[in-house]
């Protein structure tokens, strides 16, 4: 499709879905999700996170992650895997243990060996480190950074490269979609830091949790993507959604469509942009209303399964 490797949708496991306050017909949801005409790629929104895969030290559980990985396999979708090292949705023990640099190094290494090893050969890409930067582009003060400094980034990518040599290794973050932002500069520094250390990094994932009423232009998205590509990595829009300040009206849906269209327009114009993933596709399953109260309708299908205008808007841009 216009040179992209994939257009996909992330999804959660049914156990999580049913906690959403919408007693819908999930069959309708699954039919769209599994339709190869709609999505050629998927990502588990939660199932591979540390909290679920290693809830206790050394105790691994792949039930949640497998649901989406198996779905990808069964429906012949490309699988993006998400995320090995992240400060959020971390198992509580990681934050309460009194670490030394040595013991935390061992724990990170074991985590990556087990998880990336388990999924070896099945992930087109791994988000190896997620959200390591603060808004000002400096390192976020996570448990990983506090104990190990930037060494944890090198460690994570080095181990992932060893364990799954075929997977593309990504740094993934939000707020790194605009060319002039300090956080974008921070992401570029991070890529260079790894490269200078002789560590493999293959991609930068721009999460792209965007706002309908204030979104980057296509030119901006192109410039940002090219800026990463110049460092020798590929790029992807990994968690695209475009939130609307509720209530929804026609004007806001138009802005939202513009924004979705710009992402497609930018990705098809940049050779290094391999694909776009929406962070689920059905509004009731979006994370946005829970985390950003007063915002919603950020995806492509409304609660009643009608499509947003952005759906056709995007199709026109391919």
Using rule CB under 6 A, residue 48 touches ligand XIL: no
Give the nearest residue (CB) to ligand XIL: 287
DSSP 208: -
Q: Nearest distance from residue 130's CB to ligand XIL, in Å?
A: 5
Among this protein's residues, is 239 annotated catalytic? yes
Residue owning tokens 């104990």: 147
What are the distances in angstroms from CA 133 to CA 28, 141, 157, 189?
Answer: 38, 9, 16, 11
Tell me which residues in 10-39 interact with ligand XIL (CB under 6 A).
none
* Interaction pattern, residues 125-144, with ligand XIL; x per rule: CB under 6 A: -----x--------------
Tell me which residues in 264-293 interact with ligand XIL (CB under 6 A).
287
In a 10 Å sphere around its CB, with 0-12 CB exposed, 13-18 middle and 19+ buried, how is residue 249 labelled? Answer: exposed
Residue ranges in 86-173 assigned as alpha helix (H): 92-96, 101-118, 143-148, 151-163
Total residues binding ligand XIL (CB under 6 A): 7
In a 10 Å sphere around its CB, with 0-12 CB exposed, 13-18 middle and 19+ buried, how is residue 179 labelled? Answer: middle
Q: Judged by CB, which is closer to ligand XIL: 83, or 242?
A: 83
Q: Judged by CB, which is closer to ligand XIL: 215, or 243?
A: 243
Task: Identify the residue among 234, 239, 258, 283 touching ligand XIL (CB under 6 A).
Answer: 239
Please report, for the chain, how many H helices and E strands are present, in that order: 13, 10
239, 250, 261, 306: which is the annotated catalytic residue?
239
Task: Identify the residue among 41, 207, 257, 298 touching ligand XIL (CB under 6 A).
Answer: 207
Q: Nearest distance from residue 294's CB to ligand XIL, in Å?
A: 18
Q: Nearest distance from residue 262's CB to ligand XIL, in Å?
A: 20
Tell me which residues in 169-198 interact with ligand XIL (CB under 6 A).
none
Tell me which residues in 75-94 interact with ligand XIL (CB under 6 A).
83
Q: Judged by CB, which is closer to ligand XIL: 19, or 74?
A: 19
Are residues 145 and 152 in contact, defined by beta-carbon separation less than 8 angstroms? yes
Q: Judged by CB, which is closer to ligand XIL: 45, or 181?
A: 45
- 278: nearest Cα among 308, 242, 315: 242
Using rule CB under 6 A, residue 45 touches ligand XIL: yes
Using rule CB under 6 A, residue 66 touches ligand XIL: no
Cβ contacts of 179 within 8 Å, gap of 6 or more: 220, 223, 224, 227
Question: What tokens appear for 272 in the block?
Answer: 């290094």
Q: Judged by CB, which is closer to ligand XIL: 218, or 238?
A: 238
CA–CA separation, 234 vs 232, rounded Å? 7
Q: Judged by CB, which is closer to ligand XIL: 78, or 278?
A: 278
Q: Is the dihedral of CA 277, 228, 288, 67 positive or negative?
A: positive
Task: Identify the residue among 46, 48, 142, 224 touching ligand XIL (CB under 6 A).
Answer: 46
Q: Nearest distance from residue 239's CB to ligand XIL, in Å?
A: 6
Q: Is the dihedral of CA 254, 260, 266, 269 positive or negative?
A: negative
Residues recognised as catalytic: 239
Binding interface with ligand XIL (CB under 6 A): 45-46, 83, 130, 207, 239, 287
């Amino acid at each position: 499709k216009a040179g992209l490797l994939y257009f996909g949708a992330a999804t959660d496991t049914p156990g999580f879905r049913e906690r959403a306050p919408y007693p819908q017909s999930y069959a309708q949801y699954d039919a769209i999700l599994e339709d190869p005409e709609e999505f050629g790629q998927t990502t588990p929104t939660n199932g591979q996170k540390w909290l679920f895969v290693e809830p206790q030290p050394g105790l691994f559980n792949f039930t949640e992650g497998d649901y989406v990985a198996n779905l990808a396999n069964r429906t012949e979708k490309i699988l993006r895997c998400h995320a090995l090292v992240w400060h959020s949705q971390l198992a509580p023990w990681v934050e309460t243990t009194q670490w030394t640099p040595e013991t935390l190094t061992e724990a990170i290494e074991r985590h990556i060996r087990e998880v990336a090893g388990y999924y070896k050969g099945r992930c087109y890409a791994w988000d190896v480190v997620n959200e390591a930067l603060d808004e000002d582009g400096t390192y976020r003060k996570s448990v990983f950074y506090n104990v190990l400094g930037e060494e944890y980034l090198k460690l994570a990518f080095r181990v992932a490269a060893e364990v799954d040599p075929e997977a593309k290794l990504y740094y993934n973050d939000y707020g790194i979609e605009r060319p002039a932002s300090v956080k974008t500069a921070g992401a570029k520094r991070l890529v260079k830091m790894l490269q200078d250390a002789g560590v493999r990094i293959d991609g930068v994932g721009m999460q792209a949790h965007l706002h309908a009423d204030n979104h980057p232009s296509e030119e901006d998205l192109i410039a940002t993507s090219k800026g990463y590509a110049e460092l020798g990595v590929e790029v992807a829009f990994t968690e695209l959604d475009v939130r609307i300040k509720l209530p929804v009206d026609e004007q806001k849906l138009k802005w939202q469509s513009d924004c979705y269209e710009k992402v497609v327009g930018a990705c098809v114009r940049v050779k290094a942009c391999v694909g776009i993933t929406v962070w689920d596709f059905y509004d009731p399953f979006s994370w946005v209303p829970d985390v950003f109260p007063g915002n919603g309708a950020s995806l492509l299908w409304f609660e009643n399964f009608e499509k947003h205008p952005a759906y056709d808007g995007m199709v026109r841009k391919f």
